[in-house]
Structure 1
Amino acid sequence: MPPAGITIRIRVRMSARPIDEPHRVSSQLELLFDLTFVVAVAAVTAEFAHSVAEGHGLAGLVPFLQVFFAIWWAWMNFTWFASSYDTDDVLYRLLTLVQMAGVLTLAAGVPAAATHSDFGIVALGYVIMRIGLVAQWVRAGVEDPARRRTALRYAAGMTVAQLGWLLWLLVAETGVLPSFSGLPFFVCLVVLELAVPRWAERARATAWHPHHIAERYGLFTIILLGESVLAVSRGVAGAIEADGVKGPLVAVAGCGLVLLFALWWLYFLVEAGEGLSGRRDRSFLWGYGHYVIFAALAALGAGLEVAVEQSGHAVAASPLAIGYAVAIPVGVYLAVLWAVHALVAGAPVVRPAAAMGCVALIWALPLAAPWLGVAGVVTAITAVCVVLVAVSIMTAAAVGRAVARRQSPQVVES
């Protein structure tokens, strides 16, 4: 017998977990799994920062988005499966280990994919991850008769999509039918990947837990914000080594931290778990929309790294390009965050006029880079986001008071 307080799950029948399971939170295994994505995101952010610093930000954008899609989609697949079928027994843990090995393999292939469009190692990592996840879905199909068709559809759809990726890689390597090796074929495979869950869920919806999903997405947001902090620290180290501590360095680094804090504040203004509970039909748009949010945060980390770095020594990128490397991700983040919040929030906290007005202003600010400098542009962008946070807090307080008044019992005088 194991010691008191220790539970060892050797074998647990895989069945759908209740969607209203109380106190459902991320497991220790999910948190460990997320650590492998810290490595992958750090690798793709560093490569994109290198492209921006060399003045090739636009050229590096497509490889960045391609590799980041692979990272995000791998995390998505595991997260939604675990929300429905986490048994935490020995087999489940071992298959999760296989997926973690795939993520680390993918991360090792990021430099070659970003600089030479060589996706061989990335594809190998994806194959390893898919082996573990398809095995999980097959197991769910065998052990959960009520959702067998759904689970087997997931397994079949992922297998077909993976064969498509291998074909894309093979054609790219051999040079046969070169049109297949380009961006259009990649986009077609992305559409196929995104369509698999919609097709599989038509048989019967999986039993994902809304509060668990919201927490998982919030944790991944924090991971990406943490990667941006790491990117800023890399830029600070490079700038100090080159030219010591100077005013522009302090301004950009300090404002970068405040900017990330403001974006964190805006994300967690809405309790997504409550919204998803009553609007499960909007989960696809909500979940898929986060690709843009997550990619914007990763790109912002690269932009901030270069902005800090240029304060210590010269880089090939112009102040205008560096300003837009910060402004574009921030604007995209704010616009899509508002749309994602609107899908699940009962009342808007970030007003559309305020959000879009801030986006327009932020995207215009880099034009002043020749006069303000990069430090001035980053400071101004930060100030706009801080004002948006303040306005949103006041809006949230007003909405809360209005809801409280509606819910308070009416006193009827007889």
Structure 2
Amino acid sequence: MSTSVSGGSGSGSESEGGERHASWLELFFDLIAVAGVGQLAHLLHTGPSGTSLGRYAVLFLAFWFAWVMSTMYGNVAGERTRVAAVITAMFGMAVMAAAVPGVHDSDGKARAFALAYIVVRLIASRARSGRGQVVADLPILQLGAGLAPWVVSLWVHGEARLWLWAAGLLIDMAVMVRVSREALQVEIDQKWARAEERAEERAEHWLRREERRGGALPPEEAHARVDRVGSRMRRKPQVVAADVGHLAERLGLFMLIVLGEGLVQSVSAASEEPWDGGVRAVGAGVFVILVLVWSLALRTGAYGLPLLAPRALPVRLVLLLHCLFAGAVAALAAALGRAVEQAGEAMPQPGRLLLAGVLALILVTALVCALVSGRGAGWALGAVGPALVVVGVLAVAPGAGDPEGFGTVVSVALAVCALAWPVGWRAYRPGAPAAEEPAQGAAAGFTG
């Protein structure tokens, strides 16, 4: 099957103004992100521990990388996107999502998770290399060192397998940080120059061999044959960049999916509890928290990241921040679901630490985004500093067994205050980021 996605209103990929938006194929593909995020968030639902947090981080990062590689393929390919490639990648991610609960206990499911990740990644990289293109904004599509530990893990058992996965993901993250578009172009130019030199050497060797045989050819025919030898070389790879407006929309849609998991978990928990005053108060607070995260991520920034100006960072670094932020919000969904279940009690210390930890990660991401957007250290600290103090109070509060321990209602109220502060700061002290903010278009849809 080699059907490509066509443009026009039928695909929903292009508006009347020529701006590209997510196609029906891409929106269908995102359904697997809904399933995967739900499975991953449930890893923390029964209570966080060091082991469960580490497992969650590795599996979320792997699932997100699989999603973003497939997304970047569609972003760069545009109307030439192969339906078969996207659907196959979607099936691979479905296998990954289904295997998440059994990764720790079942060798078969863990092996299936690893194999599906390898297949999804190869599909995305082959789809681009087959067209002679190198995606500058996602260098791991071309530089596959991080894939080697995953391949080795197919023959490894137990916790060692997770450590191999973590090593592969760390390699990929290092590549994303270090390899720029310019570095990729230099490497391609050097490899191409060496390939041309080898082709010329082969052609000269062929000519000398013909001369030794006494069959010297007329100059025109000799040059024609040399040209034929050179034409056998592959076409020089072309460095291509992402469609930034379309990518901003796709990353924002992923954040909506993650926020949707927060709604699902809190509504599901509330449906199973008696609706006393505690549940009503916590349920309302949880809803406000999700609204505040939505506002912070999708109204005050770009690419689904809080307080970020659209062109403040290279896309490859934006992707890493997005992964960090999305993982924190997905973990927040699990913490909020637990909070609704424990509405009438003092929040257990592990649950409270999880809530404080993911809130701190969300706020630190916002601080980094504000700083790189040129808003100034004073503005950034004013937007995030007081909120981090509130989170610190939540983290160091007495435990659930202590008579002075924070109740769940108070813990949720503190979380609301922590997130409301940067949203209010951005509304009343908007500042002026150094990076250009477009007045309209998909990227502007994520700015305040």
Same structural fold, with TM-score higher than 0.5 when normalized by the shorter chain: yes
Which range is displaced more, 216-225 or 384-393?
A: 384-393
CA distance in structure 2 between the partners assigned to 1:348 and 1:221 by the alignment: 27
Residue 328 in 1 paired to residue 328 in 2?
A: no
Structure-2 residue corresponding to 1:263: 293
Once the two structures are overlaid, the 10-residue window that deviates more, 288-297 or 333-342, is 333-342
Distance in 2 (alpha carbons) for counterparts of 1:268 and 1:358:
19
**AA at the equivalent of 1:320:** Q
Offset of 1:186 from its aligned partner?
Answer: 3.6
Counterpart of 1:247, as a letter, is G
- Where do residues 144-163 of structure 1 align in structure 2 (5 Å cutoff)? 147=133, 157-158=143-144, 160-163=145-148
Which of 123, 131, 141 lines up with 1:132 in the alignment?
123
Q: CA distance change for structure 1 residues 10 and 351 in 2, over 3 Å: closer, same or farther?
A: closer
Q: Tell me, yes or no, if structure 1 residue 203 matches structure 2 residue 184.
A: yes
Q: Is the 8 A contact 2:33 2:254 kept in 1?
A: no
Secondary structure at the counterpart of residue 157 of structure 1: coil
User: How many residues matched?
Assistant: 359
Partners of 2:425 and 2:308 in 1: CA distance: 22
Corresponding letter in the other structure for 2:113:
V
> Residue 283 of structure 1 aligns with which residue?
315
Contact 2:138–2:316 (CA under 8 A) maintained in structure 1: no
Q: Deviations along 1:19-69, whole A, 9 cap, x unmatched?
A: xx941222222111111011011011112112x1xxx53331011111101
1:62-77 aligned within 5 A: 62-77=54-69
Could you tell me which amino acid in structure 1 is paired with residue 75 of structure 2?
S
* 2:95 is equivalent to residue 105 of structure 1: yes
Question: Are residue 40 (structure 1) and residue 36 (structure 2) matched?
Answer: yes
Distance 1:157 1:66 in 2: 20
Amino acid at match of 1:329: V
After superposition, give the CA deviation of every residue in 1:287-329 in whole Å (9 maximum; x if it has no partner).
Answer: 21122101110110111111111237x8xx9622222222211
Q: Normalising by structure 2, what TM-score?
A: 0.71
Of the three residues 371, 374, 379, the one matched with 1:342 is 371
| 1:306 aligned residue | 338
Closer, same or farther: CA 328–139 of 1 in aligned 2, 3 Å: same
Residue 234 (structure 1) aligned with residue 215 (structure 2): no
RMSD of equivalent CA atoms: 3.4
Gap change, CA 1:83 and 1:350, over 3 Å in 2: farther
Structure 1 residue runs without a partner (length 5+): 1-7, 13-20, 142-146, 404-414
Distance 1:388 1:298 in 2: 20
Counterparts in 2 of 1:140 and 1:341: CA distance versus 1, 3 Å: farther
- Counterpart CA distance in 1 for 2:333 and 2:168 is 27
> Structure 2 vs 1, CA of residues 219 and 336 (structure 1 numbering), >3 Å: closer, same or farther?
same
Q: Partner of 2:26 in structure 1?
A: 30
User: CA 1:151 to 1:66, structure 2 compared with 1: closer, same or farther past 3 Å?
Assistant: closer
Question: Which amino acid is 1:262 matched to?
Answer: L
What is the TM-score of this pair, normalised by structure 1?
A: 0.76
Name the counterpart of 2:253: 219
DSSP-derived class of the 1:171 partner: coil
Residues 375, 86 of structure 1: alpha-carbon distance in 2 compared, 3 angstrom cutoff = same
Q: Give 1:361's aligned residue.
A: 390
Unaligned runs of 5+ residues in structure 2 are: 8-16, 186-238, 437-448
Larger proportion of helix: 1
Q: What displacement does 1:350 show?
A: 6.3
Distance 1:11 1:272, change over 3 A: closer
Counterpart for residue 15 of structure 1: none
Give, in whole Å, the separation in 2 of the partners of 1:152 and 1:246.
Answer: 50
The separation in 2 between residues aligned to 1:69 and 1:9, in whole angstroms, is: 29
Matches of 1:10 and 1:299 in 2, distance apart?
35
Q: Does the CA contact (< 8 Å) of 2:278 and 2:343 recur in 1?
A: yes
The match for 1:121 among 96, 112, 116 is 112
Q: Percent identity?
A: 22
Contact map agreement 2:76 2:241 (CA 8 A) in 1 = yes
Read off the aligned partner of 1:190 and give its amino acid letter. L
1:84-137 per-position Cα deviation (integer Å, ceiling 9, x unaligned): 222345xx1110000000110000100012566862221132133124213312
Query: Using a 3 Å threshold, how does the CA distance of structure 1 residues 134 and 112 change in structure 2: closer, same or farther?
Result: same
Greater mean alpha carbon deviation, residues 69-78 or residues 350-359: 350-359
Change (3 A) 1:148 1:252: closer
